[in-house]
Structure 1
Amino acid sequence: MHALPPLTSLRAFFVACHAGSYTAAAQELCITHGAVSRHIQVVEKWFGVNLFSKEGQRRVPTPYALELARELGSAFDTLSDIALRYGNGGRNNVFNVSVPTTLSLKWLLPRVDDFYARFPQANLQISTANTEQLHIVGHYDLLIRREISATEYSAIPFLQDTHCLMASPEMLKRFALRKPEDVLNCPRIETLTRPGHWNQWLAVAGLQNAPLSGFRRYDHFHVSLHAMLEGIGVGLGPVSTLSAEISRGNLVPLFPQITVAPCQYHALTPVGVQKTLLHQEFERWLVIQGASDLYS
């Protein structure tokens, strides 16, 4: 490599030229006036010219120094661009996460302030995924999914969940649901992307021969959930995922001893993604949150 003046001294010189004086540069760099002066001397010795002249009590840059600073500015911009492009794509503090829509809205977001409190410099970029989008890997650092592929991801399990019957307090004012068979007398909400859940629940409840009428069907669970919260009908929902709504009294679990469709959420890292410290901390945080009941 060609001999270069020290980068720290060049930076001090560059800032002093833009600030217009040693004193202003010292304030901007949070160093002493004397330290700035020593850095300038290093640069002057290396280039073999005087770069600052005295005007009264101030040291001001010469025209030669200003022209040199202009070209150094371009060089610093190039260095900054290289650092961004090769330093994890300029995303050292950005972490891209893909999360199923309902889990993101109802489980992750109520807890995410705790992560920011622990890691205030973190920058989570959370993308939601409907059922049709769950197979898309994209350019995510981490994906949260129930299904895993051992050949495509490294997986860390962090949250177990199961489904039970739920209804809003408004719904329970209109319908008396004291025993499982009472469910047949009120509107039932079904999600098309979660087929079979109602059949499983009815079977466990001993109601296999229940009539097929009375269902209100929606395409995605977050739509079904909204219908449940609005008191349109009773529905099956994941208990841990909806713990915030349950704790706030917006949803009431019914016959909680009857549960179906157990599932396990995993933090998936696509093969080839290099885990940063932030990545590892987020995984550990997910495990801690999955093991705790925030709303108990």
Structure 2
Amino acid sequence: MHSLPPLAALKAFFVACHAGSYTAAARELYITHGAVSRHIQVVEKWFGVNLFIKQGQRRVPTPYALTLARELGGAFDTLSDIALRYGNGGRNNVFNVSVPTTLSLKWLLPRLDDFYARFPDANLQISTANTEQLHIIGHYDLLIRRETSGTEYSAIPFLQDHHCLMASPALLKRHAIERPIDIFSCPRIETLTRPGQWNLWLKAAGLDKSAGNGIRRYDHFHVSLHAMLEGIGVGLGPINTLSQEISRGNLQPLFAKITVAPNQYYALTPVGVQKTLLHRAFEDWLVSQGQRDIKLADLPL
């Protein structure tokens, strides 16, 4: 096993960096000022550098110490996560899931009551991700993504989706959109993280992509979606991801036979994660929920 500084000393060093002084760290840790000083001396001896310097009557962390503390923060978070998941003989049953923001807010969360009704003792911890990056700092038992990313994960497909034109009832009261070309009479909403979707749709609709104006651009889709719901403009949205908004009448698909940007969501389990009964139950539930979603044939064309 690798040689490590004492955990208590590292903890005192970490708290002192964040608290900004030995005195504040002593109050937070319920130990004496001298005990904090001795812990930090141990850490300084182990790393071979001075980690605090005198500033007036206080000792404050050096830039090197602050960088080290940031690294240690991630390590302490990992330790806390392990303790939470494996505490009580592993019966804490915490299941950590990472989900893209829009899918979490508009597809997963509205359905979770059904899962909890079946598994009332389940302890899910849902984290949202604004990007499709798989390598996110932190431990996750399962990640939901649109790509499988090679052999680092085992993948179970559970939700197919397509994008079509959508608008709110408020916008449709102000703008008559009866033919695809009518979209040029109202603002269009574009998402910067989904480039090219409008060009694909215009091409599929047989329209000139250079025609029209009045484009409203937003950085992430969950912002674009809010603008669509507020009636700011027409936009392209994933039909199944937004099935709850569609069924509630908050969004209306337009020309649903014209679809672009098909995608598939996967439940990804990192290699090395041992699947528990809860893990497998959640995967099965995702698949069953995906099978219940809107079919293109059910939408008005």
TM-score, with structure 1 as normaliser: 0.68
Distance 1:85 1:174 in 2: 53
Q: Distance in 2 between matches of 1:208 and 1:292?
A: 36
Partner of 2:70: none
1:105-143 alpha-carbon deviations (Å, 9 max, x no partner) = 000011000000000000110000002655426200000
**Closer, same or farther in 2 for the Cα pair 1:230/1:153, shift >3 Å?**
same
Q: Which residue of 2 aligns with 1:269?
A: 269
**1:131 alignment partner, SS class:** coil
1:213 to partner: Cα distance: 2.6
Q: Counterpart in 2 of 1:282?
A: 282
Could you tell me how far 1:254 is from its partner in structure 2? 0.5
Consecutive unaligned residues of structure 1, counting only runs of 5 or more, are: 1-81
Displacement of 1:144:
0.1
- Asked if 1:146 is matched to 2:183, the reply is no
Match of 1:193 in 2: 193
In the alignment, structure 2 segments of 5+ residues that lack a partner are 1-81
Q: Given the superposition, is the C-alpha separation of residues 91 and 206 from structure 1 closer, same or farther in structure 2, using an over 3 Å criterion?
A: farther
Instruction: Name the residue aligned to 2:163.
Output: 163
Greater C-alpha Rg = 1
The residue number in structure 1 matching 2:179 is 179
Partner of 2:44: none
The offset of 1:209, in angstroms, is: 3.9
Which residue of 2 is the match for residue 126 of structure 1?
Answer: 126
CA contact (8 A) 1:131 1:220 kept: no
Segment drifting more, 241-250 vs 127-136: 127-136
Alpha-carbon distance between aligned partners in 1 of 2:189 and 2:88, rounded to the nearest angstrom: 45
Contact 2:185/2:212 (<8 A) preserved: no
Partner SS, residue 172 of structure 1: helix
* TM-score w.r.t. length of structure 2: 0.67
- Residue in 1 that maps onto 2:65: none
The alpha carbon displacement at 1:289 in A equals 0.4
Name the counterpart of 2:247: 247
Counterpart contact for 2:143–2:268, Cα < 8 Å: yes
Seen in structure 2, the aligned counterparts of structure 1 residues 106 and 201 have a Cα distance that, compared at 3 Å, is same
Q: Relative to structure 1, is the Cα distance of residues 151 and 182 closer, same or farther in structure 2, using a 3 angstrom cutoff?
A: same
CA–CA distance in structure 2, aligned partners of residues 189 and 213 of structure 1 = 11
Change (3 A) 1:234 1:294: closer
Q: Are the structure 2 counterparts of residues 128 and 85 from structure 1 closer, same or farther at C-alpha, using a change threshold of 3 Å?
A: closer
Q: Deviations over 1:239-293 (max 9, x none)?
A: 0000000000000000001000000000000011111110000000000000013
Letter in 1 for 2:167: A
In structure 1, what residue type is equivalent to 2:166?
M
Q: Distance in 2 between matches of 1:223 and 1:217?
A: 10
Gap change, CA 1:195 and 1:172, over 3 Å in 2: same
Question: How many residues were matched structurally?
Answer: 215
Instruction: Say what the alpha-carbon RMSD is for the aligned residues.
Output: 2.3
Counterpart AA for 2:202 = L
Deviation at 1:84, TM superposition (A): 7.0
C-alpha displacement at 1:167, in angstroms? 0.3
Change (3 A) 1:195 1:243: same
Task: Give the counterpart letter for 1:207 in structure 2.
Answer: L
Cα distance change on mapping 1:118 and 1:179 into 2, 3 Å = same
> d(CA) in 1 for partners of 2:176 and 2:199?
22
Deviates more, 1:97-106 or 1:137-146: 137-146
Residue by residue over 1:204-237, the C-alpha shift from the partner in whole angstroms, topping out at 9 and shown as x without a partner, is 0011343363110000000000000000000000
Q: Give percent identity, aligned residues only.
A: 80
> Does the 8 Å contact 2:158/2:286 carry over to 1?
yes
Q: Distance in 2 between matches of 1:107 and 1:235?
A: 18
Q: CA 1:230/1:83 → structure 2, altered by over 3 Å: closer, same or farther?
A: closer
